[in-house]
Structure 1
Amino acid sequence: MNVEVNFDKLKTTFETEQRAVVQKQLLKDQSKCLEVSTNFNQFAEDRKVGMCTQFAQIFKRNWQYLLRNPASLNGILFNGLFTAILNLILYWQVGNMDGIDFTDPASVMAWLYNLKGLAFLFANNIAFSTSMSVILQMPLQVPVFKRETANNMYSSTVYFWGRFLSNAILQLFYPITSILFVFYGLDIDQSFSNLVMFIFYAVALNLSMVAQGYFCGV
């Protein structure tokens, strides 16, 4: 259906019938805005919340966020097993010394470099996987963090520790499962003390990279 619009007539109608009504409403709305005296820079500046309450709420919220995020949870739980399988394929029985001729420097150096390669690859897998899983969460959280800290809901220090500890609990699955999966296939010293030392260093690296991820993500 073709409808011819007479713009001159519309303009005349607006000028004679509608403009006064629109201007009146604009002036009314403007006067309401001028009456608002709230200083948003000082909003909630007197809010006082205990540090324990702040920490508990942040810890609980971040824990729920991680558990409700299937991609993040699956990455933490199963990425360790996946990388452990790859490491085990590459360095199966790397510690076996039966074929090493310790009178031959080339044979000894090849054996040592294989061990160094395992250490380098394993450390990098733990470090970067842990750090990136945290860094990728932060862009989604930064707007909320800025808004809530501006409202004195919590301090930056409490926010960091609450998120760090809640995330670290889940992140511990990664190094522990990786070490347990790989350790007995390397043909190295399989004493309990050596296993504990492996897990200790892996967990220490894991926690360090969780903290680093939060600093880089913000």
Structure 2
Amino acid sequence: MANVTLLMTRPRVAAERFIQALPATLKHRVSVCYSPLLEILPVNAEIDLTRVKGVIFTSVNGVSSTLGLTQPCGLVAYCVGKATADAASQAGWSAKMMGETARELIDTMLASRAVGPLLHLSGQHVRGDIAGELTNAGCLVRRLVVYDQKLLELTESAQVLIHEGGRIIAPMFSARTARHFFEQCPQDARLHVIALSPAVAKPLPNMPNLTVTLCNRPDTDNMKREVENVLNLLCRVESAGGAQ
């Protein structure tokens, strides 16, 4: 069996949640190296819900960063992704999953004629302008930053792993993380990257030993399936090589 390492660059809690959700048969076939490239830092935010009819969450981090800062009071929370909707529901919001991407959320909210004013409780760094697009389309939305995403360097163990040239599968969940990751990688790094979406794959460089797999859908279930697919491929390649 191939000696394969899953290199997890998500914030530690999210990375551990992803690994725990993998099938047991898959977890036993890989080792895991945690090297978070983002640290989630709450910011001083005053959340006033007195004049809004609901909120928007685009990540679990948005939900967790508001805990203790406000009371949901039965308000609807429009969410990107099942994990975000589940977290919002557990926090007391009337959660509605509106799609797996910000684009899907916008289109679904407009199609369902969502009514504002709404509050987008977001991170400092976002892709696109949800509040601006919805407001321009007639649904008033204001964005409020409730957490920051501080970039971190690769850990020493991750750097050693990359430089040793072992078999590495690196799931990438955001374009910003992917860009930051490859700024720290040597050009000859041997990597098998799985990008959550075309947007995540866009900043990936052209490197001789880099292979890129794109998820069919930008969700955790598809990422897990692609991890298993890439792992099976690596094992077949190794077995074929050993038989020659």
Give 1 or 2 for the bigger CA radius of gyration.
1
- Name the structure, 1 or 2, with higher relative contact order (CA <8 Å, separation 6+): 1
Per the shorter chain, which TM-score range? under 0.3
Normalized per residue, the structure richer in strand is 2
Structure 2 length normalisation: TM-score?
0.23
Normalized per residue, the structure richer in helix is 1
Structure 1 length normalisation: TM-score?
0.25
